[in-house]
Structure 1
Amino acid sequence: MTEWKGRARAGLAGMLLLGLVACGRSGEDYAADTAAGAVASPEGAFLAYEHDLRIQLDAKRISERVKAVSEACQSNRFGDCAVLQVGEEGGESRSGSIRVRIAPKGVEPIIALAGEGGDVASRNTHAEDLAQQVADTALTQTRLQKEHAQLQAYQQRSDMKVADLLAVSQRMAEIEAGLEQANKEAAQQRRRIDTQLVTLHFEGPAGQRSRSEIGKAFSEFGSIFTTSIAFVIRAIAALVPVGVVVWAVGAVVVALWRRRKRRKAAAAAR
């Protein structure tokens, strides 16, 4: 019993020590390490990983940072890499984004480059299991290859009729087209497994965004004011005819009511 209590105390002390270590590190580092550990794929698994990050950076540096990540990818600085999408939004509220497909070993380095001098506000990592798709594609390839080989052997027969030969040739062309498509799908699946998709969104810090929104509101004051005035004028123009008709109908109703009232008063006087 005493030994069990000693082990329990040791385990509790170890957990507390781990908790203190985790608390002593910054939240950003801890989140980054957790996400980095989550991408470790078991041997032989068919997992397609995707990473989505939101990085807060000085608005003036966003454009050059997007360019730096793009150049690092295109030069294969961190391994096999391809730029899939680049976007920037100018103005006071500047933002940018870039999407790349890169070898697993280059994921963390290119993320480090993107977040240098900034803060990783959020990071999400998920994987799609392609095991079933890979198995189905491989099965399709094997089936088409066997059928193609059988038709090739059948095509070599000397007693084949012309009609049968044409039918075999047509079927072989269909098989070759299907096999080419299956090979393309297999290559795409292999690329998704061997590389990882990284999407980086850049934005200014919260303070900069707030100031830029206020400045944008002031800059748009004139156009918003004139648009509102124009709307009021259009509304008045649309309501004036309706008002005229309502006034005319009301005037007629009042006149008829007064006339009827005078008749009743005259009849009562008699």
Structure 2
Amino acid sequence: MRVTFLAILMCLSLLACGKKEGSAGGGNAAEAGRTGGSNKTLAYAHFLELEVDEQKIGPMHAAAQQFCLTLQAEQCVILEAKLDTGRYASARLKFRANPAGIQKLLANLNRQGDVIHQSVTAEDLAAPIQDNQKKLAMLNDYRSRLEALRSRANADIDALIKTNKELASVQEQIESLSGKREQLLQRVETELLSVTLTPDNTHSFSQPIKQALSGFAGNLAQGVAAAITGIAYLLPWSIVLFFCVWVVRWLWRRKKATVPKP
């Protein structure tokens, strides 16, 4: 009984592998046509770079996040928010939302600054989605066969243990593939928007002067430190050079003193 049961289990494994290979050739052709026949497998990513007044970068950074929070129906989520208020202020934001939400975000941001770069890219996820669906179908069928086999293995403890172990492994693979499927579907059902805010200093006459004055103390300290470091390096070499010159001159005078006068 045990040998027969194990033989059946091995046959199920072979059938599962065979089904996987067969499905790769056209087992899910109808579903592939549905996903490939439209743009539901394209994952879009938008990029926007705005030039705004330096004083407005901070408030605009906060306002963009607040505007995203109001787009609950558009599934807007803040994925990244970075603000640098140092000497050269800048900000970076990254959002995820459905297509309507992304368009609302773009319209809101474009009104608040000068667009210096805007682009969009699309990644076709048809192949990963189809491959994921095929693997899930194969594993679900294999799990059903194992569950049917387990119901007939109650009298064989060893075979029951092996079947349960195989079922646990298959269930783990199904959960992992289901998680990847949700990620893939989220990427095609929503879009990404990366925003960069840079200061507009090209039209400000006083801005370079202000930056130079604000960095005067630091630049002065660095200059003094560099001078002190240079003196520290040059001082021992100056002593060595002075000694060498003195020796050369002493040898030269001695040589001249030993030369007889005509």
Report the TM range for the smaller structure's normalisation.
0.7 to 0.9
**Could you tell me which residue of structure 2 aligns to residue 220 of structure 1?**
215
**Could you tell me which residue of structure 1 aligns to residue 143 of structure 2?**
148
Alignment check: 8 A CA contact 1:72 1:78 kept: no
Distance 1:255 1:139, change over 3 A: farther
Alignment check: 8 A CA contact 1:93 1:209 kept: no
**Could you tell me which residue of structure 2 aligns to residue 175 of structure 1?**
170
Query: Shift of the alpha carbon at 1:55?
Result: 1.8
Q: Which shows bigger deviation, 115-124 or 127-136?
A: 115-124
Which of residues 154, 158, 172 in structure 1 aligns to 2:154?
158
Paired letter, 1:135: Q
Residues 1:194 and 2:194 are matched in the alignment: no
Paired letter, 1:158: N
Residues 1:73 and 2:68 are matched in the alignment: yes
Distance 1:187 1:172, change over 3 A: same
Separation in 1 of the partners of 2:239 and 2:88? 48
Alignment check: 8 A CA contact 1:62 1:202 kept: yes
For residues 110-149 of structure 1, what are the structure 2 equivalents within 5 Å? 110-149=105-144
Query: Shift of the alpha carbon at 1:120?
Result: 2.1
SS at match of 2:79: strand
Alignment check: 8 A CA contact 1:93 1:212 kept: no
Alignment check: 8 A CA contact 2:71 2:101 kept: no
Normalised TM-score (structure 2):
0.75
Normalised TM-score (structure 1):
0.73
Separation in 2 of the partners of 1:60 and 1:46? 41
Separation in 2 of the partners of 1:53 and 1:106? 15
Query: Shift of the alpha carbon at 1:50?
Result: 0.5
Separation in 2 of the partners of 1:122 and 1:91? 23
Q: Deviations over 1:185-207 (max 9, x none)?
A: 11111111000001122233343
For residues 1-270 of structure 1, what are the structure 2 equivalents within 5 Å? 43-76=38-71, 79-91=74-86, 93-156=88-151, 157-162=153-158, 164-207=159-202, 211-263=206-258, 265-266=259-260
Flag structure 1 segments of 5+ consecutive residues without an equivalent.
1-40
Separation in 1 of the partners of 2:60 and 2:187? 26
Query: Shift of the alpha carbon at 1:54?
Result: 1.2
CA RMSD of superposed structures (Å): 2.7
Paired letter, 2:210: G
Q: Sequence identity, in percent? A: 24
Q: Deviations over 1:138-195 (max 9, x none)?
A: 2222232233223323333134342x44333333322222221211111111111000
Separation in 2 of the partners of 1:104 and 1:131? 19
Alignment check: 8 A CA contact 2:74 2:100 kept: yes
Flag structure 2 segments of 5+ consecutive residues without an equivalent.
1-35
Separation in 1 of the partners of 2:103 and 2:208? 33
SS at match of 1:207: coil
Q: Which shows bigger deviation, 114-123 or 249-258?
A: 249-258
